[in-house]
Amino acid sequence: MNPLCPVREHVSRRAFLKASLSVGGAAVANWGGLFNSASLAAEAKKQGMRCILMWMNGGASQIDTFDMKPGRPTGGPFRPISSKVAGTQVCEYLPKLAQQTDKLAIIRSMVTSEPDHPGGITSMHIGYRPEVSIAHPELGAVIAKYHGKPDSDLPTFIRMGPAGNGGPGFLGPEYQPFSIGRDGRLPPFSDAYATAESEKRRSDLLKLVEDGFTQENKADPYGAHRLAKEKAWRLLKSKGIFDVTKDWPKAKERYGDSEFGRGCFLARKLVEADVPFVEVGHDNYDSHADNFVCHKANMNQLDPAWSSLLIDLQERGLLEKTLVVWMGEVGRTPYINNRAGRDHYIRAWTIVLAGAGVKGGLTYGETDIDGKTVKDKPVTEGDLFATIYSALGISPRTKHMVGTRPITVAPERSVAVADILS
Amino acid sequence: MITPRHLLLLSAASFGLILQPARADEKPFRQMIDQEIKAAWQRENVKPAPRSSDAEFLRRIHLDLVGTIPTHDEARQFLQDTDEQKRAKLIDRLLEDPRFAQQQASVWDLAIFGRQPPGGEVTRRRDVFQKWLQEKFAKNEPYDVWVKEVLNAEGNTSEVGPAMFYAQFRNQPEEAAMAVSRIFLGTQLQCARCHDHPFDKWQQLDFYGMAGFFARLVFVEGGNANQRSMLIGEKRTGEVMFSGPVTEQVPGKKGTPVQAKFLGSTPLEEPALPAGFKDVEVKGAKTFPKPDFSRKEKLAEWVVAPENPYFAKAVANRVWAQFMGRGVVHLVDNLSDKNPPSHPELFEALSKELKARKYDLKWYIRELVNSETYQLSGRGESTDAAPRWFERARVRPLTAEEILAALRLATGYDQGVKPGEKLPNAGNEYFMRYFGEPLNGRGDFQASLNEHLFLNNSSNLRQMIQAKKGNLADTLATSKEPAEERVERLFLTVLSRLPRAEEKERFAAHLTTAGQKPEALVEEAVWALLNSAEFRFNH
């Protein structure tokens, strides 16, 4: 054993495996999944947590949404409106969300490191600056690892629309994102050519061969292989959940008739079904020109989708277990360029969290009068990820061995924003 | 006992070097291996697995030596053969098979480049490099000789095989230093890039000292839209700059040049520049003249020198792990005082003997796979993929290349392709995508849902298992043989073994299911075997 590897992980895994194997035939179907997740779930302080990431692809403007500067040269034409929380104002194009601000923790002091899209998309999905030599896993992969339910039929890391580009990194293909189309369409090879009878005949033959083989051959990889096969079968059985055509006509009245709204609705259904991580992308924020036209149109979609999602999660008792993150790869400049656009800006921008015990009804950090700099309490992408992981019961100092090098899930020197965590 | 073959090898290997005299009572090296392994079992109170069955051995040795499974006829013949020497004979035969060189080149290509090498379009297709490396294995050129050639490489990647190695590290001497240390010296330097290594003796200056050897490499990109290429050369000037621990960096801080220094050894002594020296112009260059003093040449000499403390150990351990599943030092690229070998005496002996044999990898591989240790069964209670005490055969997933080769062979996909003809594409890029990286960062197998969606539902696999004139499914569907015999044929073809009694009965019943088309039933049966763990893994 590599002396740098934590002994704990090896031992607990092995011990668990023995325990589950002794249960007999019935348990064998799942034991690969159990050892992958049960001991891991024990490492997470909270169980069954979920996360929905609303990804504002291109980078949403903080000044036109949650950190408004009315009357200043940087302020733009939008007006602020009061919200449910006294003293917290949001943009006039977020009227429904304004009624949900008691659930929101608005961080107005983001200071990040990657000013452009590919780098920003990566770093805001992995919590690190991109590195050549280490493939850090995305948020979704980490959450899938620690909160994935072993006996669920569904994938543990799902995304739709424009989304992250980092993948599972060193966590490996088990935590690969399961990408579905913006309309909920499943990935390649999700449609069976075999009829149900044919599938049963061939899978019965396979089980016979597998049972015979694994009676004498006990190595771990065989179980993992079998589990993945069963997941593939179970996905076919459960894939109906991705089809929301029946519920959508009614739901779209509340979520708004947009791809993003439909994505948020599907995300709600997926976390209800115990999927631990869903990312829903929302496009067209990169408003180097016509910033205000873009943002008005986007908020018209964002407002009903986001607010309905929060309401539905709360009604179902899921909000306390589900972290809803609103962010993109960059913020936008306070100054307005000569095409009525705003460019990329990473020195003072805003992201919003809700649920999973995050304190609602507050704003954290502050920018100056024109929104150009952070006056107080800067938060880096590392700090943000430490906060997200903490809210989900995963210690930011959780280590993974990459070759011989221990890598924490959030950067070594990152600090979770304690003020917004309960 | 020394066999005549052994003596022959000894005399061949001793040509031109001083070997300890071969004594008649000297044990074959494979016995020394088994002795050390058994001693550890006793000490650790470990119960070993039994000897592998012939069928287990047959499949394993084919995959390990030639990268695919045996044919139906080869399997049947081997299992029926009563010759007690049949395993050793099969090993000798496979070591001379042209696919042996192909398979070893493929293993090393993956070790050197991985699945996602840096270097973009240039390093994506490496036919010239792979062919070059295959020739090395076909000739059984000593390992140190071809590694030296890699490290000395220059010229155009479209013409000079080994030049591809450096194409990964365009303007990144630090990355080159890490790769050379890891691949050829089994040493992890990367922590020392940003700070002195926390667990090991390496300091930042060791890292930048090694990087200095690559600071003068120059790269010119070229080629056409079809295949990008890179011209590699070397300048006479240029240094790596060092500016202290990464935590103390501030914008605008300039580093100081670092002297090139051999890892854990002395600084490089360099002659002064000739008066009025002017270095080559890189931009637009078509060729590069060799500088009067070449740093990479000095490094290459040092890496393969007999005094190098890491080189022999690293390769002995890496090739051991290739066949035995894990290194005597595990992980293979982490030789370090802090990471001692599981079998210290064996570890010393492996590298010492390999060095004495002038890095004859074929000799080494022959000894490894003839050992009782390698030929243990994969059955047993241990659940580790590769047990620490080597008390049971290791289990490893087939590589994407092996899966594809085994599928083509088992299903008879390439029936009708004439020898020498290019094989048709069978959806190779899908196999790379779904089977290319089966291990996580720690070397554990990671099952993937997408892999199984592909196996279950793709037309790529289906076109292999549907009956088509002359292929396996067609043979089985149109055969007049009794169902039991067809089941035997199926199992020997796909799993290289005979079916168990229960399997024979159930599969025979399946093939004769009333009211179903024989082609459809055969397709289902072939699918079942191809999807088994027994097929997915080398065990």
Q: Do A221 and B385 touch (CB under 8 A)?
A: yes
Mean pLDDT of chain A: 87
- Sequence-ordered list of residues with C-beta below 8 angstroms from that of A240, at least 6 positions apart, any chain: none
Same domain assignment for residues A121 and A32: no
Cα–Cα distance, B257 to B277 (Å, whole number):
19
Residue of B227, B384, B216, B363 whose CA lies nearest to B299: B216
- Sequence-ordered list of residues with C-beta below 8 angstroms from that of B372, at least 6 positions apart, any chain: B30, B34, B51
Looking at the DSSP bridge assignments, the partners of residue A358 are A421
Chain B residues touching A30 at Cβ < 8 A? none
Cα–Cα distance, A364 to B493 (Å, whole number):
66
Give the total number of structural domains in chain B. Answer: 2
Is A321 in the B-facing interface, judged by CB distances under 8 Å? no
E strands, B250-399, are 256-258, 396-397
Of the two residues B380 and A93, the one the predictor is more confident about is: A93
With beta carbons less than 8 A apart as the criterion, state whether A126 and A168 touch. Answer: no
CA A93 to chain CA mean position, Å: 25
Residue A313 pLDDT exceeds 60: yes
| Domain membership flag for residue A365 | yes
Give, in order, the Cα–Cα distances in Å from A191 to each of A187, A194, B51, B447, B528: 9, 9, 44, 20, 18
Same domain assignment for residues B107 and B254: yes
Interface with B, mutate which of A14, A179, A229 (most B CBs under 10 A):
A229
The pLDDT value given to residue A132: 67
Cα–Cα distance, A389 to A379 (Å, whole number):
15
Run of H or E residues at B468: none
Task: List the domain range (segments joined by +) for residue A5.
Answer: 1-43
ipTM given for this complex:
0.91
| Domain membership flag for residue A413 | yes
Cα–Cα distance, A250 to A245 (Å, whole number):
10
Q: Kindly report the CATH number assigned to the domain that includes residue B424.
A: 1.10.3130
Is B378 in the A-facing interface, judged by CB distances under 8 Å? yes
Q: How far is B461 from chain A (nearest CA, A)?
A: 11
Q: Do A404 and B331 touch (CB under 8 A)?
A: yes
Give the total number of structural domains in chain A. Answer: 2
With beta carbons less than 8 A apart as the criterion, state whether A350 and A66 touch. Answer: yes
Chain B residues touching A3 at Cβ < 8 A? 338-339
Run of H or E residues at B231: strand B228-234
With beta carbons less than 8 A apart as the criterion, state whether B396 and B537 touch. Answer: yes
Same domain assignment for residues B151 and B299: yes
Using a 10 angstrom Cβ sphere, with 0-12 exposed, 13-18 middle and 19 or more buried, the burial of residue A149 is middle
Cα–Cα distance, B265 to B263 (Å, whole number):
5
Residue A349 pLDDT exceeds 80: yes
Residue of B100, B4, B83, B17 whose CA lies nearest to B365: B100
| Domain membership flag for residue B54 | no
Confidence of residue B25 (pLDDT cuts 50, 70, 90): low
| Domain membership flag for residue B311 | no
Same domain assignment for residues A35 and A59: no
Q: Kindly report the CATH number assigned to the domain that includes residue A394.
A: 3.40.720.10
What the block records as the tokens of A199 is: 């599938």
Confidence of residue A131 (pLDDT cuts 50, 70, 90): confident
| Domain membership flag for residue A193 | no
Widest CA span in chain A:
76
Q: How many helices (H) and strands (E) does chain B have?
A: 25, 7
Task: Quick: pLDDT tens for B411-423.
Answer: 999 998 998 898 8
The pLDDT value given to residue B14: 42
| Domain membership flag for residue A56 | yes
Task: Quick: pLDDT tens for A81-128.
Answer: 999 999 999 999 999 999 999 999 999 999 999 998 888 999 999 999
Chain A residues touching B190 at Cβ < 8 A? 133, 405
Chain B residues touching A18 at Cβ < 8 A? 383
The mean pLDDT of B223-236, rounded to a whole number, is 91
Q: How far is B159 from chain A (nearest CA, A)?
A: 28
Run of H or E residues at B535: helix B533-536
For residue B482, count other CB atoms closer than 10 A to its CB.
12
Task: Quick: pLDDT tens for B114-171.
Answer: 988 888 889 999 999 999 999 999 999 999 999 999 999 999 999 999 999 999 999 8
Q: Helix (H, G, I), strand (E, B), or coil: what is residue B392?
A: coil
Q: Give the pairing type, strands A50-56 and A277-282.
A: parallel
Residue of A214, A155, A207 whose CA lies nearest to B531: A207
Same domain assignment for residues A35 and A7: yes
Same domain assignment for residues B288 and B424: no
Q: What is the CA radius of gyration of chain B?
A: 26
Chain B residues touching A213 at Cβ < 8 A? 532-534
Same domain assignment for residues A125 and A272: yes
Confidence of residue B445 (pLDDT cuts 50, 70, 90): confident
> Which residues in chain B (101-140) have CB-CB distances under 8 A to chain A?
118
- Sequence-ordered list of residues with C-beta below 8 angstroms from that of A82, at least 6 positions apart, any chain: A89, A98
Confidence of residue A167 (pLDDT cuts 50, 70, 90): confident
CA A327 to chain CA mean position, Å: 10
Task: List the domain range (segments joined by +) for residue B284.
Answer: 100-269+279-304
Same domain assignment for residues A158 and A255: yes
Q: What is the DSSP string of B363-383?
A: HHHHHHHHSTTTTB-S-BS--
- HSE-CB at A118 with a 13 A cutoff on CA atoms is 2
Cα–Cα distance, A177 to A187 (Å, whole number):
11
Cα–Cα distance, B169 to B210 (Å, whole number):
14
Residue of B458, B327, B306 whose CA lies nearest to A189: B458
The mean pLDDT of A198-222, rounded to a whole number, is 95
Query: HEC string of chain A?
Result: CCCCCCHHHHHHHHHHHHHHHCCCHHHHCCHHHHHHHHHHHHHCCCCCCEEEEEEECCCCCCCCCCCCCCCCCCCCCCCEEECCCCCCEEECCCHHHHCCHHHEEEEEEECCCCCCHHHHHHHHHHCCCCCCCCCCCCHHHHHHHHHCCCCCCCCCEEEECCCCCCCCHHHCHHHCCEEECCCCCCCCCCCCCCCHHHHHHHHHHHHHHHHHHHHHECCHHHHHHHHHHHHHHHHHHHHHHHCCCCCHHHHHHHHCCCHHHHHHHHHHHHHHCCCCEEEEEECCCCCCCCHHHHHHHHHHHHHHHHHHHHHHHHHCCCHHHEEEEEEECCEECCCCCCCCCCCEECCCEEEEEECCCECCCEEECEECCCCCCEEECCECHHHHHHHHHHHCCCCCCCEEEECCEEEECCCCCCCCCHHHEC
The mean pLDDT of A394-405, rounded to a whole number, is 88
Q: Do A219 and B334 touch (CB under 8 A)?
A: no
Residue of B456, B399, B457 whose CA lies nearest to B431: B399
Same domain assignment for residues B403 and B298: no
| Domain membership flag for residue A270 | yes
| Domain membership flag for residue B449 | yes
Same domain assignment for residues B186 and B292: yes
Same domain assignment for residues B403 and B534: yes
The pLDDT value given to residue A170: 85
The pLDDT value given to residue B323: 98
What the block records as the tokens of B73 is: 């006829």
E strands, B251-380, are 256-258
Residue B202 pLDDT exceeds 70: yes
Residue B246 pLDDT exceeds 70: no
Same domain assignment for residues A308 and A409: yes
| Domain membership flag for residue A19 | yes
Nearest CB to B457; choose among A17, A172, A191: A191
Q: Terminal CA-to-CA distance of chain A, rounded, Å?
A: 39
| Domain membership flag for residue B474 | yes
- Sequence-ordered list of residues with C-beta below 8 angstroms from that of B311, at least 6 positions apart, any chain: B144, B147, B184, B185, B303, B304, B305
Residue of A369, A322, A349, A341 whose CA lies nearest to A56: A349
Same domain assignment for residues B121 and B259: yes
Q: Do A225 and B438 touch (CB under 8 A)?
A: no
| Domain membership flag for residue A277 | yes
Confidence of residue A375 (pLDDT cuts 50, 70, 90): very high
Q: Helix (H, G, I), strand (E, B), or coil: what is residue B444?
A: coil
With beta carbons less than 8 A apart as the criterion, state whether B233 and B156 touch. Answer: no
The pLDDT value given to residue B329: 96
The mean pLDDT of A201-224, rounded to a whole number, is 94
Of the two residues B499 and A133, the one the predictor is more confident about is: B499
The pLDDT value given to residue A214: 94
What the block records as the tokens of A85 is: 């929380």
Give, in order, the Cα–Cα distances in Å from B520 to each of A198, A306, B102, B412, B471: 8, 50, 36, 17, 14
Chain A residues touching B199 at Cβ < 8 A? 4, 404
Q: Give the pairing type, strands B256-258 and B240-242.
A: antiparallel
Instruction: Identify the sign of the CA torsion B251, B253, B258, B263.
Output: negative
Same domain assignment for residues A38 and A71: no
Is A7 in the B-facing interface, judged by CB distances under 8 Å? no
The pLDDT value given to residue A134: 83
Is B528 in the A-facing interface, judged by CB distances under 8 Å? yes
Q: Helix (H, G, I), strand (E, B), or coil: what is residue B56?
A: helix
Where among B304, B320, B350 does a domain terminate? B304
Nearest CB to B448; choose among A2, A213, A228: A228
The mean pLDDT of B326-333, rounded to a whole number, is 92
Nearest CB to A170; choose among B338, B388, B440: B440
Q: What is the dihedral of CA B24, B29, B32, B36, to 10 degrees?
A: 170
Cα–Cα distance, B344 to B402 (Å, whole number):
33
**In this predicted structure, which of A153-167, A288-302, B304-318, B479-493 has the lowest mean pLDDT?**
A153-167
Q: Helix (H, G, I), strand (E, B), or coil: what is residue B229?
A: strand
Is B539 in the A-facing interface, judged by CB distances under 8 Å? yes
Chain B residues touching A202 at Cβ < 8 A? 524-525, 527-528
Cα–Cα distance, B102 to B137 (Å, whole number):
8
With beta carbons less than 8 A apart as the criterion, state whether A171 and A141 touch. Answer: yes
Same domain assignment for residues A35 and A72: no
| Domain membership flag for residue A235 | no
Same domain assignment for residues A293 and A168: yes
Residue A39 pLDDT exceeds 70: no
Chain A residues touching B456 at Cβ < 8 A? 189, 192, 194, 232-233, 236
> Which residues in chain B (446-505) have CB-CB distances under 8 A to chain A?
446-459, 462, 500, 502-503
| Domain membership flag for residue B476 | yes
Confidence of residue A12 (pLDDT cuts 50, 70, 90): very low
Same domain assignment for residues A58 and A34: no
| Domain membership flag for residue B154 | yes
Interface with B, mutate which of A209, A220, A402, A407 (most B CBs under 10 A):
A209
Same domain assignment for residues A52 and A38: no
| Domain membership flag for residue B342 | no
| Domain membership flag for residue B338 | no
Q: Do B451 and A228 touch (CB under 8 A)?
A: yes
The pLDDT value given to residue B441: 61
Same domain assignment for residues A58 and A151: yes
Task: Quick: pLDDT tens for B72-126.
Answer: 999 999 999 999 999 999 999 999 999 999 999 999 999 999 988 888 889 999 9
Residue of A394, A357, A402 whose CA lies nearest to A146: A394
